[in-house]
Structure 1
Amino acid sequence: MTSAAHRRPTNAPEDRASALHARAEATGLSGVVHVSRGDEVVLARAYGWADRARRVPASVEHRFGVASVAKGFTALTIASLVEEGRLGWDDPVRPVLGGDLPLVDDRVTVDHLLDHTSGIGDYLDESALGSITDHVLTLPPHVLDDTEAYLPMLAPHPQVSEPGERFAYNNAGYVLLALVAQRVAGVPFPDLVADRVLGPAGMTRTGYPRSDEPTADLAVGYLDEEGPRTNVLHLPVRGSGDGGLATTAADLAAFWRALTTGRIVPLAAVERLVEPRHVVEDEGMRYGRGFWLALGTDELVLEGYDAGVSARTAHDPATGVTVTVLANTSDGAWPVLREPADD
């Protein structure tokens, strides 16, 4: 999920780092702030708790859930399959779906799903949601352990608009992309992302962990700024194309360096993914294919918002500056990212 908060692109990295640190302390961030310029780390600092029950302080080495940040990784996985000739941008997805999801229009293509113009019904319609901490899954979380397992949750939702007609942010579309990728490659989606994106980017601390297999380096996601309740019953036990990735701020810095030097997919494919397709006024940004872009600059953005998760990572290709804020609370990252003039 995304945040509708309007945020401006980075300034000088040292000034930006100082301002972010001050706001992290002032707002009680539980998470990590990371600012880098190329290989140089300008700021890497952790705040708050990774595990409140065990009184484990957050560290820059902790992995955090990043929700819809994962959509960029899904788009890159699709792009890698297109580069191999195993998919086409304009390929209809019906031949891959077969008889599954009959309510998905036969004209829906890979490109429609990537840029949120498919018009398919969404199992997680953000425009209709109440609180981000509401229980919204229609299947028990433990059932959702593979992308194929999402099919019963996707199936009941009819088409809501003509394919290609309009932009409407759609989580189900990215689960569908993961399903297509998994079926075309014959490899489980998390492994596919690991092979095609994480490995080439050198992201050794990143993946799709199961929430019922906690590890010491994975920060616990909390529903409230204070309190013991976690997000484990609110999210699938293992994520898919629309979310579920866990990573570190350092790995995200490595990701942007790899992306913008063509080490994940060729730069021509990157340029297609970051080509501005839509102006999304309520987000104060533009959207490409899996990636957000700032208004008025070429800054690239990935962000995520869900129960117990808020995250944003932004990269300025012109300066090589990357700014990442990760939080293990639903709203913790946004006050840190908000510029003083936005208050």
Structure 2
Amino acid sequence: MTAGLGTALVACTGSQSAGAADAGYDGPTAPPELKQKLQALADSARVVGCNVAAVDRDRTLFADAWGTARRGKPMTPVSTLNIGSVSKTITATAVLQLVAAGHFTLDTDVNDILANAKLYGPHSVRSPHHPDTPIRIRHLLTHLTPLTSPVGPNAYGYTYRMGAVPDPAEMGRWLHDYLTPPPRGWTYSAEVNFTKGVPGQAHQYSDVAYELAGHVVQAATGKYFADYCRDAILTPAGMTRSDFNRDKLSEDNRAHPHAWFEDGVKKGMWEDFRNLIPHDIPDDFTGPVEYAPYVSSLVADGGLRSNAVDLARWARLWLNEGSSDGQQILPQPVATAALTNQVAPQVLAASESPVSMIAQGYAWMRLAGDADGIWQHAGSEFGTASYVMIDTKRGVGAAVVCNTEVRIDNDPRPKMLQLLLDAAANS
């Protein structure tokens, strides 16, 4: 065992707890019995640190945290972490704001925007298998594009790296290379980067579609995506400890990703990107390992840094039909449409997405088994696992942010969210 790894292990194995007075949150904490149940579920999945929060339409009902955020730092209710695909709900909101403002419509061909882009990126995107069929704005938001995003040692996976935050122009450059045929696009592949599906007629969950949606925002506005979201969504919504740019957030509040290893092999949803771990891992090692606070140039699909307090506040905005404490972030009809199924049942039934959906809104979705009124989005990256759920019938919402990657067959988040929503509804 290396000295660095040994130090990291000591930090990971403690069971520290954060109270209401910890940095940045002074509201009510979870009832002790509820917190005990939540922590037991998280512990069963070997989660190193976690924060949770629940809201109704009017206020944050409670927030809490436990465990270790990173070496030497306890997890607090506002410890920030890259939350993965929950970020798509913010990206969809940015696009919908521009639709509401008249920049384009949901049926606009993306090429009409890209051809007149104010920032660099692909000038045109077409499926090589269906070159005459346009990819429309609504297709990006409802996963009806043929754009693939395989996770692994490939053009998408290698955007993750340790070190400084990438230049904000890098997302547009990456999309240009990925979606533009040769000789200009050096990572373009007709077979790897695109499915055979007809745009608008085949549903497949796509990270790259949301990167393109993020680029549409900056192409139409001339503002880099992270800057637009900060100014038009996060700040007005009161999510002041959330950002797509890691370095805009206090380092004191940052949590680091973690993963569980057994005999030197990572156990989790994603491949073992050992380049993101700043120390050696012995072949016989079993225990938690801390990742570096890595970055990616591709932020629109999963790069938001946030915490349960801010994400629960985000859920409250949707419970209030696009409004946050008097600020109308989205017009009410647009917010209502986002929580309405936008995909034909027969198309959704044939979806190749990894989860069984019964409704697909604009980013938000309903899964098989969801009670009436439930809308949700999960998120995970290397070493993280987050989830936001909204119950529009009972008027409550909840968020869970774990700084540890979980396994698909042992995911505590759905049960944790159900406990949080029930407690909120009974408050």
What is the distance in 2 between the residues matched to 1:304 and 1:23? 18
1:138-168: CA deviation from partner (whole Å, max 9, x where unpaired)? 4574685323132224441433221112100
Q: Write the distance in 2 (CA, Å) between the matches of 1:31 and 1:265.
A: 30
Amino acid at match of 2:412: V
Matched letter for residue 251 of structure 1: D
Q: Distance in 2 between matches of 1:254 and 1:265?
A: 15
Change beyond 3 A, Cα 1:314–1:337: same
Distance 2:399 2:159 in 1: 32
Partner of 1:255, secondary structure, is: helix
Corresponding position of 1:202:
238
AA aligned opposite 2:199 = P
1:149 partner SS: helix
- Pairwise CA distance, 1:118: 1.4
**Other-structure match for 1:230:** 291
2:85 counterpart of 1:68: yes
Q: Which has the higher contact order (CA 8 A, sep 6+)?
A: 1
- What is the number of equivalent residue pairs in this alignment? 317
Deviations 1:68-121 (A, max 9, x none): 10101111111100011001100001122236355545611001111111113x
Cα distance in 2 for residues equivalent to 1:58 and 1:135: 33
Q: Does 1:137 align with 2:157?
A: yes
Aligned to 2:38: 20
Quick one: distance in 1 between partners of 2:150 and 2:230?
28
List per-residue Cα deviations over 1:235-264 (Å, max 9, x = no partner).
50x542201101121111211222332322
Which amino acid in 2 is paired with 1:113? Answer: L
Check the 8 A contact 2:91/2:300 in 1, yes or no. yes
Aligned equivalent of 2:143: 116
Residue in 2 aligned with 1:257?
Answer: 316
Q: How does 1:146-225 map to 2 (within 5 A)?
A: 146=168, 147-151=171-175, 152-155=177-180, 156-158=188-190, 159-160=194-195, 161-210=197-246, 215-224=251-260
The higher radius of gyration belongs to 2
Identical-pair percentage: 23
Residues 309 and 328 in structure 1, CA contact (< 8 A), matched pair in contact too: yes
Unaligned runs of 5+ in 2: 1-29, 116-121, 181-187, 262-286, 324-328, 417-427
1:275 maps onto 2:293 in alignment: no
Give 1:270 deviation, angstroms: 1.1
- Asked if 1:331 corresponds to 2:427, the answer is no
Whether the 8 Å CA contact 2:384–2:403 is kept in 1: the answer is yes
CA spacing shift, 1:157–1:298, aligned 2, 3 Å: farther
The structure-2 alpha-carbon separation of the partners of 1:143 and 1:46, relative to structure 1 and needing over 3 Å to count, comes to closer
User: Structure 2 CA distance, aligned partners of 1:143 and 1:56?
Assistant: 22
Q: Secondary structure at the match of 2:235?
A: helix
1:49 aligns to 2:68 (yes or no): yes
TM-score by length of 2: 0.66
- Quote the offset at 1:186 in angstroms: 1.1
Indicate the RMSD between aligned Cα atoms, in angstroms.
3.1
Compared CA separation, residues 84 and 230, structure 1 to 2 (3 A):
same
Q: 1:221: Cα distance to partner? A: 1.4
How far is 1:320 from its partner? 2.2
Structure 1 unaligned segments of length 5 or more: list them: 1-12
* Mapped contact 1:69–1:304 kept (Cα < 8 A): yes
State the alpha-carbon separation in 2 of the partners of residues 312 and 80 from structure 1. 23
